[in-house]
């Protein structure tokens, strides 16, 4: 099997460990195989690939899209190292408001599957990082939203005290505000 799928503390979020074939020439791995992913419970059609490059200390997130444009993602770091986070925003979930975090890097070649109904973000731990991710729904700017990265109720232990943020990422609401405004899944 070319992949190992590991359930995390939030069982709907999966750590994907690809089988890597390495020799003195370099390496080869499969990054997506629809039938294998479907066997692991990752269904749906991924319709777009995205690629970002960021410098050390840049924190992107915590992002999601409101209904009906919510997105599932498969995230991987192709260069550098990131601390990758998914926060459960599904109000009827037993893990609502909880998060999982993993290190994704060019070295471990792991990927993270994040289903719809989650906020997602990462911070760069290397000099720079390039992140690629597949999504299963189109980007809709009018439905873009987020959760503030340092919400004390979520309490994510980010490994960088003072990250570099976009103006938008500095002003997202807290989880309590999302609940009050009815912007949870």
**Active site amino acids:** 63, 133
**With contact defined as beta carbons under 8 Å apart, do 57 and 131 qualify?**
no
Nearest to 76 by CA among 112, 40, 103: 112
Q: Cα–chain-centroid distance for residue 66?
A: 16
CA distances from 12 to 59, 124, 130, 140, 153 (A): 24, 24, 25, 24, 21
Q: Which two tokens stand for residue 9?
A: 């503390």
DSSP per residue, 61-114: EEEEE-TTS---EEEEEEESEEEEEEEE--TTSTTTT-EEEEEEETTT--EEEE
Longest CA span, the chain: 56
Residues 6+ apart with CB under 8 A from 89: 64, 96, 97, 117, 118, 119, 147, 175, 178, 184, 185
């Amino acid at each position: 099997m070319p992949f190992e799928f590991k359930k995390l503390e939030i069982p709907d979020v999966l750590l994907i460990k690809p089988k890597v074939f390495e020799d003195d020439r370099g390496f080869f791995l499969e990054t997506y195989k629809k039938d294998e992913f479907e066997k692991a419970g990752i269904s749906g059609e991924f319709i777009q690939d995205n690629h970002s490059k960021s410098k050390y200390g840049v924190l992107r997130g915590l992002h999601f899209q409101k209904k009906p444009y919510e997105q599932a993602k498969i995230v991987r770091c192709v260069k550098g190292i990131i601390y990758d986070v998914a926060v459960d925003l599904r109000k009827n979930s037993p893990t609502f408001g909880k998060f999982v975090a993993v290190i994704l890097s060019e070295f471990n070649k792991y990927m993270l599957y994040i289903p719809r109904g989650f906020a997602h973000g990462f911070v760069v731990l290397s000099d720079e990082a390039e992140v690629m991710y597949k999504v299963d729904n189109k980007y809709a700017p009018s439905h873009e939203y987020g959760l503030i990265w340092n919400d004390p109720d979520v309490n994510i232990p980010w490994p960088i005290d003072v990250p570099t943020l976009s103006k938008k990422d500095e002003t997202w609401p807290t989880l309590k505000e999302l609940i009050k405004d009815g912007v949870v899944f």
